[in-house]
């Protein structure tokens, strides 16, 4: 499997006014093309810092992040990010359609193709009827769908999702999780999904990277050997799901106590 995203020796230390704080000590991992990998960690584990480094929003102190073999120094062309704060990530002065279309215009996608991509993306997230609405006219879950539509219309080779469903209600959350699985399978996009929810990570991922607490390293890279076809009812009640869930849960508990890998 060719590598889509490669993180090697990543280290991030914040320095302000003489004091320095080590957020990420050392991270090495890679994600194959078409994989769906989840990252979980205790709160304050530097998940957001890591994601900002990968997406090129933040300069790492040391180490490299490579996307399709090219080092990331600024937000790369082949990457789309879905933020947790959907309400602050969508532009309220643009309609749903304009929000999805704006990055494509910027990429100089020809008009006909643009319309096609936007229509497909909105259809994929089930929002074809709301194209002319403004984001603030939609519910939270629907707004996050718009953000997802914007990301997939962008045709990224890697899709980063930063705790995208932390702010929506449980019911909507389950629907959106299934939407992500479905889109991932259908589009073959590589997904890196950051979450603090253990169930969500195990349910979604093919692999789960468990982070230690600060300064962050990887505690364990857990392979999720659940069947490819997943659904909320059977998968979540499968014995194997419970085992994996328990395993990740223990890891997180260890991480909270400050345990480091040997």
Partner 1 sequence: MRLLTTLAYALALPIVLVVVWWFASAGSESVFWPPLSKIVGVFGETWNADRWTGDVLPSLARLAVGYLVALVLGVLLGVLIGLHRPVRAFCEPTLEFFRAVPPPVLVPVIALFLGYTGDTSKVVTIAVGCVWPILLNTVEGVRGLDEVMLDTARCYRLSAWTRLRQVVLRGASPQIAAGARQALSIGVILMVISELFGANRGLGASIVQFQRSFAIPQMWTGIILLGILGFLLSVLFRLVEHYALAWYRGLRQADRGA
Partner 2 sequence: MTVATVPVAGTRTERVAGRGRDATLGVLGLLVVVGLVEALPRLGIVNDRYLPPASAMFTELAGQLGEAAFWTALGDTLRGWALGLAVAMAAGIVLGVLIGSVGILRDLTASTIEFLRPIPSVALIPLVVLLYGSRPTSALVLVVYAAFWQILVQVLYGVADVDPVVRDTARSYRFSRLAIIRTVVWPTALPYVMTGFRLAASVALILEITAELIIGVPGLGKSIGVAQSSGAVEKTYALVIVVGIIGVAVNLLARALERRTLRWHVSVRREAR
Residue whose CB is less far from partner 1, 75 or 126: 75
Which one of residues 7, 24, 49, 244 is an interface residue with partner 2 (CB under 8 A)? 49
Contacts to partner 2 from residues 109-148, by CB under 8 A: none
Contacts to partner 1 from residues 94-133, by CB under 8 A: 94, 102-103, 106-107
CB of 5 to partner 2, least distance (A): 20
Q: Which residues have C-beta within 8 Å of that of residue 32, sequence separation ≥ 6?
A: 1, 2, 3, 4, 190
Lookup: tokens for 58: 């933040």
> Cα(first)–Cα(last) distance of the chain, in Å?
28
Note if the bond before 168 is cis, omega within 30 degrees: no
Which one of residues 1, 43, 69, 112 is an interface residue with partner 2 (CB under 8 A)? 43
Q: Is 16 in the site for partner 1 (CB under 8 A)?
A: no
Which one of residues 1, 17, 93, 233 is an interface residue with partner 1 (CB under 8 A)? 93
| Interface pattern 62-101 for partner 2 (x via CB under 8 A) | ----------------------xx----------------
Q: Is 137 in the site for partner 1 (CB under 8 A)?
A: yes
Task: Give, as one character, the DSSP assignment of residue 128.
Answer: G
Q: Is 57 in the site for partner 1 (CB under 8 A)?
A: yes
CB of 72 to partner 1, least distance (A): 12
Query: DSSP secondary structure string, 37-85?
Result: EEEE--TTSSHHHHHHHHTTSS--SEEEEEETTEE-SS--TTEEEE-S-
Residue whose CB is less far from partner 2, 16 or 171: 16
CA 243 to chain centre: 24
Instruction: Tell me the number of residues near partner 2 by CB under 8 A.
Output: 21
The 3-state DSSP class for residue 97 equals helix
Which one of residues 45, 60, 154, 222 is an interface residue with partner 1 (CB under 8 A)? 154
Sheet with 79-82: strands ordered across: 79-82, 158-162, 190-195, 36-40, 207-211, 218-223
């Amino acid at each position: 499997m060719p590598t889509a995203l490669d993180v090697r020796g990543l280290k991030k230390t914040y320095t302000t006014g003489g004091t320095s704080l080590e957020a990420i000590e050392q991270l090495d991992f890679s994600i194959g093309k078409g994989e769906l990998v989840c990252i979980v960690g205790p709160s304050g584990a530097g998940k957001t810092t890591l994601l900002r480094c990968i997406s090129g929003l933040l300069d790492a102190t040391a180490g490299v992040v490579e996307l399709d073999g090219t080092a990331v120094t600024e937000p790369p062309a082949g990457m789309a990010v879905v933020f947790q704060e959907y309400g602050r990530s969508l532009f309220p002065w643009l309609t749903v359609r304009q929000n999805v279309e704006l990055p494509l215009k910027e990429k100089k996608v020809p008009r006909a193709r643009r319309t096609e991509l936007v229509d497909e993306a909105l259809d994929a997230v089930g929002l074809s009827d709301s194209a002319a609405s403004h984001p603030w006219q939609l519910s939270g879950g629907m707004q996050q769908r718009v953000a997802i539509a914007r990301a997939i219309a962008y045709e990224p080779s890697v899709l980063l999702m930063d705790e995208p469903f932390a702010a929506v209600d449980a019911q909507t959350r389950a629907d959106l999780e299934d939407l992500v699985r479905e889109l991932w399978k259908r589009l073959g996009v590589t997904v890196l999904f950051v979450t603090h929810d253990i169930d969500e990570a195990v349910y979604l991922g093919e692999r789960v990277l468990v982070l230690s607490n600060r300064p962050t390293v990887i505690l364990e890279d857990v392979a999720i050997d659940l069947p490819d076809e997943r659904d909320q009812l059977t998968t979540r009640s499968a014995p194997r799901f419970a085992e994996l869930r328990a395993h990740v849960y223990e890891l997180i508990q260890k991480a909270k106590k400050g345990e480091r890998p040997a």
